Amino acid sequence: MPSHDEPRAAQLLEALLPLTRRIAQLDLSDPAAAAGALSAAAPPSELSELRALMCAANAEGWLTPRRATETLSFGRLARPDEATSGLSIDVVDMAGAGAGHTHPNGEVSLCFALQGEPRFMGEPEGWVVVAPGSHHVPTVSGGRMLITYFLPGGAMEWD
């Protein structure tokens, strides 16, 4: 958890834990079905409090403190453990492309638009699910997004 603002980080993590429990129950081998289930259970339009917490933490600078490029900063909120249902929780503020990588166990991303009309991997604001074993170059086009990504077992293999 970020050390800059422990009380706010704990509050944000607490707000995300119900989502981790739901995500851990999904079959990520069918990304469309998993994204559909998440959209039905937790549509972005009903996550305004979470969005506000995430955007405030990002604006304060402690949520995504590491800068990879001019348009990409990131940070880790939690390592995978029992409390997070075995998922790591990472956040990226991005526009453009990131580094290519493979997801041995899949990935679930919750995307909030920050500027413009962004799309992550071609998808608008909302839930994006990537199947286990898949490879991609994460890309935000048409604007900027704040993306929280949940990795089963924290597994990711960088190119």
6-158 belongs to CATH 2.60.120.10: yes
The Cα–Cα gap between 144 and 81 comes to 30
CA-nearest of 141, 98, 102 to 123 is 141
Token couple for 80: 């995978």
Backbone angles phi, psi at 3, to 5 degrees: -90, -10
Mean pLDDT of the residues in the chain = 93
pLDDT of residue 6: 77
- Sequence ranges of the domains in the chain: 6-158
Q: What is the pLDDT of residue 2?
A: 41
Report the distance separating Cα 74 and Cα 64, nearest Å.
4
User: Among positive and negative, which fits the CA dihedral 42, 47, 50, 56?
Assistant: positive
Whole-structure pTM value: 0.93
Contact 100, 136 (CB under 8 A): yes
| Model pLDDT, residue 45 | 79
Low-confidence ranges of the chain (pLDDT < 70): 1-5
Q: Which pLDDT score, from 0 to 100, does residue 3 have?
A: 46
Residues with Cβ within 8 Å of residue 148, at least 6 apart in sequence: 16, 54, 77, 89, 90, 91, 109, 110
The closest of 82, 106, 80, 107 to 92, measured between CA atoms, is 107
Report the pLDDT value the prediction gives residue 20, as an integer from 0 to 100.
97
